[in-house]
Structure 1
Amino acid sequence: MRGKERKVIDDARDQPLDKRVRFSLRLLESASTYKDIVVRKKDGFTQILLSTRSTYNNTLNREVMNEVKSALEKAAVDDSKFVLLSAVGSVFCCGLDFDNIVKHLKYNRKRATVKLVDTIKNFVNSFIEFKKPIIVSVNGPAIGLGASILPLCDVVWANEKAWFQTPYTRFGQSPDGCSTITFPKIMGRAAANEMLINGWKMNAQEACDKGLVSQVFWSETFTQEVMVRIQEITSCNSFVLENSKALVRYNMNVELKQANERECEVLKKIWASAQGMEYMLKYVQNKIDSF
């Protein structure tokens, strides 16, 4: 028996019989339902881990985004007090899968554009609409949409080796994830423009100083530090947690949804245009040539 499997079984054995049954059922449900994410139901919270098989480096295609959206919808109505979003491996999320986007846009561009942009819009809205706290554990690079969704979450902890970048202009793409609203509010207009227009690569401490990240932990103790704080939040009352988030986010959701709508409309225009397609093809080709 592999070590990971033994640990799962040992963890389950430490729980009362009824909890062990529910634990086993939830593990089976996760394994049978999702391909590109892992969902772990634990006492008090749900952990969603990016672990993509259909993409590299935890990039986001339609399948991955739909799976995360589905997991959030289920966590919204179960007994979880909050969600812990993290990733498997040394990369958190490299944003949209442009190889996949180009492949889809080559055929029936208008129809494919609508489908892709609607998936992004619904994915982002699932974060905006989620009423329970979302805690993010950033283990490595967060790029593009992988970075822009962070302000839509409630607490963001980062490994000291993590870094953050939204080089949209290099992709031939406009900003997404409500970053046109959240980034200027969090870090000020000048720093936001450096991120969204100039593609500033921000290290973990810089991200913390600018307010994109809550705390930075040493890489050697990152997982332990995260779990200590997770246990502290787990001990809180779920009603208090949800209502505390509602107070902090009061009147923000409408503005965020409007920003998401505007950003997605611009994406439709860019991806449906010949110039936008040309820029993306150049980016994908340059990426291939660099290997």
Structure 2
Amino acid sequence: MSRYLKVTEFKGVTVLALARPRQKNAFNLPLYIELTEALKDLSKSTSANSNAIVLTGEGDYYSSGNDLANFSQLMHPRTMAAAAKKTCYEFVDSFVACRKPLVCAVNGPAIGISVTTLGLCDVRLCVPNATFHTPFRALAQAPEGCSSFMFPKIVGDEMSHKLLEEGYRMTATEAKACNFIHDIVPIEALLDRAIEEAANPNLKRFVVQEEGLLAKLRSVNQHEVDVLEKAWVSRECFDALSKYLLSRNKRGPASRLDGHGTVDALYDRMISMQ
């Protein structure tokens, strides 16, 4: 039974709703696993109740992205990075390998991996107040979700660079103008419209339709997580995450600093742990 993912069925469409509204639907480890397994199972299902899939969120946010508390455990950075790499690859691959049409109903702001994986969906709808933000540079991280390949194809090189490299926060109107979003829908009509789009028998999974694309996306996914693994063990990433966790009063590595410690000193101690 899913704890953080609400699963419902309508007219042959399965709706998967991220259900951590108090945390702005941030992806903690259980939610990563639950959505990964749900997409894999639905992709293989022959049930008439799951011909297509709708992704959405509960509450005011679609998702605030990766829950940075995932990084707050005191463990060797390389151990953490290796585990996070595996989770990220499998999560993105569940989108890439899904054979059912994917429709995303973005019910509010989207951040990080909840933005990058939108490029792997067939239909993308959003509410008027939705925004799309990938603050990778600020956190000394790198793009994931096959966005380094899909975003230039969808929005062009210039907007892709603004989003992925500059951390530009894109509005719903801008997203529609550059074809990142197909339509803007009032919140009260969003889910019905998404189900209608998903139930369209003419909607086909784009990954299945284009020869060689599955292999290409898997190669891109592997490259991206390889880059991320290196970023996650860097001093720059540790410093950025520690500052973020301190600013949010999170319990974690940064909170272990005493009156004589520094983030650099803590990083050196952790990287030297056996």
Same fold (TM > 0.5): yes
The equivalent of 1:72 in structure 2 is 39
The equivalent of 2:62 in structure 1 is 92
TM-score, normalising length: structure 1: 0.79
| Contiguous gaps of at least 5 residues in structure 1 | 1-32
The equivalent of 1:278 in structure 2 is 239
1:40 equivalent to 2:2? Answer no
**Residues in 1 aligned to 2:244 and 2:197: alpha-carbon distance in whole angstroms:** 44
Match of 1:49 among 9, 12, 17: 17
**Residues in 2 aligned to 1:244 and 1:124: alpha-carbon distance in whole angstroms:** 16
The equivalent of 1:151 in structure 2 is 119
- Residue-by-residue CA offset, 1:31-52 (whole Å, 9 max, x unaligned): xx11111111333011100002
1:109 equivalent to 2:88? Answer no
Write out the 4+ residue segments of structure 1 that deviate beyond 4 Å after TM superposition: 240-245
Contact 1:49 1:86 in 2 (8 A): yes
**Residues in 2 aligned to 1:244 and 1:166: alpha-carbon distance in whole angstroms:** 24
The equivalent of 2:218 in structure 1 is 257
Structure with more contact order per residue of length (Cα contacts < 8 Å, sep ≥ 6): 2
- 1:114-263 maps to which residues of 2 (within 5 A)? 114-219=82-187, 221-223=188-190, 226-228=191-193, 230-231=195-196, 233-234=198-199, 236=201, 241-242=203-204, 246-247=208-209, 249-263=210-224
**Residues in 1 aligned to 2:153 and 2:139: alpha-carbon distance in whole angstroms:** 24
| Contiguous gaps of at least 5 residues in structure 2 | 251-274
Residues matched between the structures, number: 247
TM-score, normalising length: structure 2: 0.84
Task: Tell me which protein shows more helix as a share of its residues.
Answer: 1
- Residue-by-residue CA offset, 1:97-137 (whole Å, 9 max, x unaligned): 11222x13x31221221111110110000000001100110
Shift of 1:277: 1.1
Shift of 1:243: 6.8
Contact 2:27 2:65 in 1 (8 A): yes
Structure 2 CA distance for partners of 1:273 and 1:228, relative to 1, 3 Å: closer
Matched position secondary structure for 1:149: helix
Contact 2:207 2:214 in 1 (8 A): no
